[in-house]
Amino acid sequence: MNKLLALADRVEKLKESSNEVDVLVEIALFEPDEDAAAISSNAAGTKVIYYGHDGRSETHRAQDWTHGKPMRMTTARRLRVRAHGGGE
């Protein structure tokens, strides 16, 4: 199964928020822009690290992609669209 579809299924099955899954979603939906060239998680998988085009990095908490059932369903839908080659 496609990793994005598997993550969408995982998001839908959650009964409560999950910071670990928030980090995975943040990375899966990341698109480079004028500020950030790349993204990864920290070693513990609890935060995201954004890498600038200048080589600098900044560590942040991931967005609350899994906070509440409506947000989880929206997040799962966005992951499915991305898995099928669509934009957001």
Distance CA 42, CA 54 (A): 19
Residue 46, in any domain of the structure: yes
55 is in which domain, residue-wise?
A: 3-83
Residue 44, in any domain of the structure: yes
CB 46 within 8 A of CB 20: yes
What tens digit of pLDDT does each residue of 37-82 get? 999 999 999 999 999 999 999 999 999 999 999 999 999 999 999 9
| 8 Cβ neighbours under 8 A, 6+ residues apart | 75, 76, 77, 79, 80, 83
Residue 88, in any domain of the structure: no
Work out how many domains the chain is built from and give that number. 1
Within 10 angstroms of residue 64's Cβ, the number of other Cβ atoms is 13
Confidence of residue 88 (pLDDT cuts 50, 70, 90): low
What tens digit of pLDDT does each residue of 32-49 get? 999 999 999 999 999 999
